[in-house]
Amino acid sequence: MKTYIEKTGAKPLVGVKNTKWTDIQLSASATGSEQKVTFPILDETLRNLFYLKDKINGLVATSYLSLLATLETTFTDTWRAYLIM
């Protein structure tokens, strides 16, 4: 892939907005058996993906806490009414 990128040069990457082949960077991993691929649009996409994932997790946690509070209140009120009988 590295050879192809060097050969292709500054041609635009088809289907990826404002990205040229030269924007793609390859670097060796710590083990040397793999290569890390980075380029601006990928970095931005992953950053947005992780941000949205965190937001969704926060909303799920808030909703679940609200559900638990509702269940606790309902159970407590029902149990009190049962004891008063």
pLDDT of the residue at 85: 66
Q: Give this prediction's pTM.
A: 0.62
Contact between 41 and 18 (Cβ < 8 Å): yes
In whole angstroms, what is the distance from residue 16 CA to residue 45 CA? Answer: 12
Q: What are the tens digits of pLDDT across the range 16-71? A: 777 888 888 888 877 777 888 888 888 999 999 999 999 999 999 999 999 999 99
Task: List, in sequence order, the alpha helices (H) in the chain.
Answer: 2-8, 40-84
In whole angstroms, what is the distance from residue 50 CA to residue 57 CA? Answer: 10
In whole angstroms, what is the distance from residue 68 CA to residue 56 CA? Answer: 18
Domain borders along the chain are: 2-38, 40-85
pLDDT of the residue at 27: 84
